[in-house]
Chain A
């Protein structure tokens, strides 16, 4: 009984990882194609649907961690997924004025390369039990460049959206009201930008540690 449950888990995770892989592959493909053919202003429209699907599917990963299907700690995945969803839905989808910016291109290219490597890595591991060493190397090395480019893009796009947030008052709740509650989306966005200050070195440092562990372990094997 336990054996077939483990098999089911492996099957589910294999399908999950490869499906999301296809989504991110589309993002990268259409992004690069549009950049070449039309220019950076059109990139968002070309990748909107696959980006939203692939990125939002990542919510499942929090669930996977919570129910113990995977070993990743929720504390590491939650901040990462939250910032991705914030930028995907809270900035790009909510404020179309940001979509023509060139940072959109750097954003989706950074994200999609990272995710293509990550999902294929886990997809291969779940399907075949282990991943080739070159894929392991990619997974624990590309972040060195792609984290800074991705984070810069996320912060930059959030910053660009601020005046549009203020002007449109979108998602804002004003006082007076019965519950004496107010919410200002642009202050909220600034607060989130504040979290990037300790958060980015923390995540980068965490990955450096993971890199050291993973690459030295494979050397010894």
Chain B
């Protein structure tokens, strides 16, 4: 089969196209394109079927595990695919590692080192118990995230654009420094002992619940990632589509109840907004996929992310 590879503006990306066996997979095609273009390794390629001009539909993205026969429409000696360069890619695990490493390193710097001297605060710092517990809690949280990245999560995509490294690290590292600066400040005012216990108690319980949610989500995906989406079930997922985000949000609430800083609450609100965006998309996708027709199960009525609000 001859595959013609064009850009979205119609320009030929691979001169004279690619000759490839009829039984080849899309992954084989991507390898062949990489060999010819030398620059565009497979994870950088987004291949779609051409759309009719003026069509408002979303283009069909070629799945690398399928065979190219699945995408040719019967006149099987030529196929045209539209190519988009997704830009330099990094593994998701790499991205997550770097974005989580920042907070893990930056926070203890504010706790252990005489940083505040450089902000004009001379003299010794009195360290309250809550500040020490906050350090342990925070570092445990990001350590847990890194461990989950390497041992628990099964990613839907292997890679993410390189630009996300700068964006995500900027977000995590900046907020990490901002919160660490305030909680470890020499003029920090702790809350009552009871409030601290309630906060950390809630936070720890939610971290454990969050971990269990991640295990359940992992088991929804097979190691090869072949089967696509499944309806999450069990534990809190019977009530909330994105119970993993719910537990994460409440976990940060616990931290903030214990440490009480504006910085921490700002972070909580921003994180909750970001996760709510993701949750709405996921909920919508699952409801669309599991519509109850043609033998497919119907997606049950559930909260999206934060009962009783959403």
A residues in contact (CB < 8 Å) with B: 175-182
Q: How many angstroms from the CA of A21 to the CA of B185 in the assembled complex? A: 49
Given A181-B182, A182-B182, A176-B189 contact (CB < 8 Å): yes
**How many of B's residues come within 8 Å of A, CB to CB?**
11
Q: How many angstroms from the CA of A178 to the CA of B195 in the assembled complex? A: 13
B residues in contact (CB < 8 Å) with A: 182-183, 185, 187-189, 259-263
Chain A neighbourhood of B260, CB < 8 A: 178-180
Other than the given A175-B185, A177-B189, A180-B261, 4 more pairs (CB < 8 A) read A175-B188, A176-B188, A179-B261, A179-B262
Q: List 6 A-B contacts (CB under 8 A).
A: A175-B185, A175-B187, A176-B187, A176-B189, A180-B261, A182-B182
**Across the two chains, which residue of chain B brings its CB closest to A181?**
B262
Chain B neighbourhood of A179, CB < 8 A: 260-262
Q: How many angstroms from the CA of A181 to the CA of B262 in the assembled complex? A: 6
Chain A neighbourhood of B185, CB < 8 A: 175, 180, 182
Q: How many angstroms from the CA of A190 to the CA of B51 in the assembled complex? A: 49
Chain B neighbourhood of A182, CB < 8 A: 182, 185
Chain A neighbourhood of B187, CB < 8 A: 175-176
Chain A neighbourhood of B261, CB < 8 A: 179-181
Which 10 pairs of residues, A with B, have the shortest CB-CB distance?
A181-B262, A175-B187, A176-B187, A180-B261, A176-B189, A179-B262, A180-B182, A180-B188, A175-B185, A180-B189
Q: How many angstroms from the CA of A177 to the CA of B261 in the assembled complex? A: 10
Chain A neighbourhood of B262, CB < 8 A: 179-181
Q: How many angstroms from the CA of A182 to the CA of B263 in the assembled complex? A: 9
**Across the two chains, which residue of chain A brings its CB closest to B266?**
A181
Chain B neighbourhood of A181, CB < 8 A: 182, 261-263
Q: How many angstroms from the CA of A178 to the CA of B182 in the assembled complex? A: 12
How many Å from the CB of A180 to the closest CB on chain B? 4
**Across the two chains, which residue of chain A brings its CB closest to B185?**
A175
Q: How many angstroms from the CA of A218 to the CA of B188 in the assembled complex? A: 61
**Across the two chains, which residue of chain B brings its CB closest to A176?**
B187
How many Å from the CB of B138 to the closest CB on chain A? 15
Q: How many angstroms from the CA of A52 to the CA of B168 in the assembled complex? A: 38
How many Å from the CB of B179 to the closest CB on chain A? 10
B189 close to A178 (CB less than 8 A): yes
Q: How many angstroms from the CA of A179 to the CA of B187 in the assembled complex? A: 11
**Across the two chains, which residue of chain A brings its CB closest to B186?**
A175
**Across the two chains, which residue of chain A brings its CB closest to B191?**
A178
How many Å from the CB of A199 to the closest CB on chain B? 15
